[in-house]
């Protein structure tokens, strides 16, 4: 991502960025010269630590609390974003939106409750839909949106029917967003990680050696993913080098279940 002397510093808003893939993404963006607004759900201390890391890299950052599963809070959040843009960055728009926040819930199709289904829908699908909608006036023309999906939307792993269904919805939504936001020069793509060694879903991939090995044995590159594999890819994907890629699903999984 190369900027001319007259170009404003790009700003990214990344949801769920106090830990895991979100944290890795904002740090990768900061290393590429991007300022960041990051959101967190409950751990302000973790979010503040990420802000300090970003500032140590020479970039500006702000952490804002957001519950992506509660769309009633979105109008107030948008006003917080606008206030932060003006006070911290001297702008009224930002350039990149990464809809990353999410949770993983394991449960068979037969045993998944309606409450669990609604929770996953509100966070992953409804949250992405309406948060992006409410933020549209603040996204600069020519900007970029990345929605996070999952390899589980392509292949099946028993126990993730509801989660994967939401991610399948995200992939369809991405194409519609790309078509409808194209006149503003805003491109929209999906990044679909494979299994990653984080605390997501209770840290099973990271902490359970048997699960880790099974996934690695079924991955062409012979291991499970690491946060750096995803964060750096998303940061690169937002850059102008990928400016003609739009409405696409890019899986970042090392070639799992090919």
Active site residues: 163
Contacts of 8 (CB under 8 A, 6+ apart): 91
Structural tokens at position 69: 């599963």
C-alpha R_g of the chain: 18
DSSP H stretches of helix in 67-188? 74-84, 114-120, 127-135, 161-181
Q: Which one-letter DSSP state was computed for residue 198?
A: S
Task: Kindly tell me the burial class for residue 150, based on how many C-beta atoms sit within 10 Å of its own C-beta (0-12, 13-18, 19 or more).
Answer: buried
Neighbours of 163 (CB within 10 A): 26
The strand ranges marked E within the chain are 11-14, 35-40, 61-65, 94-99, 139-148, 187-193, 249-252
Q: Map residue 197 onto helix, strand or coil.
A: coil
Contacts of 197 (CB under 8 A, 6+ apart): 205, 206, 212, 224, 225, 226, 227
First to last CA, the chain: 32
Structural tokens at position 94: 């930002």
């Amino acid at each position: 991502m190369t900027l001319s002397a007259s170009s404003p510093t790009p700003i990214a808003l990344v949801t769920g960025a106090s830990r895991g893939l979100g944290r890795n993404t904002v740090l990768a963006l900061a290393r590429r010269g991007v300022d960041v607004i990051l959101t967190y759900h409950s751990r302000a201390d973790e979010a503040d630590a990420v802000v300090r890391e970003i500032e140590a890299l020479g970039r500006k950052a702000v952490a804002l609390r957001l519950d992506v599963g509660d769309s009633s809070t979105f109008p107030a959040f948008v006003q917080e974003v606008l206030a932060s843009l003006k006070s911290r960055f001297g702008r009224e728009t930002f350039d990149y939106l990464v809809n990353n926040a999410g949770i993983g819930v394991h449960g068979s199709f037969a045993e998944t409750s309606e409450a669990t289904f609604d929770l996953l829908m509100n966070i992953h699908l409804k949250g992405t839909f309406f948060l992006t909608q409410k933020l549209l006036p603040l996204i600069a023309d020519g900007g970029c949106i990345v929605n996070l999906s999952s390899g589980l939307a392509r292949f099946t792993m028993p126990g993730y029917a509801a989660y994967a269904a939401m991610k399948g919805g995200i992939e369809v939504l991405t194409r519609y967003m790309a078509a409808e936001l194209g006149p503003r020069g805003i491109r929209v793509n999906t990044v679909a990680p494979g299994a990653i060694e984080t605390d997501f879903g209770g840290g099973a991939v990271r902490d359970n050696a048997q699960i880790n090995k099974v996934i690695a044995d079924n991955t062409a590159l012979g291991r499970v993913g690491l946060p750096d594999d995803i964060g750096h890819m998303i940061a690169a994907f937002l850059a102008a080098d990928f400016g003609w890629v739009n409405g696409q699903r890019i899986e970042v999984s090392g070639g799992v279940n090919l």
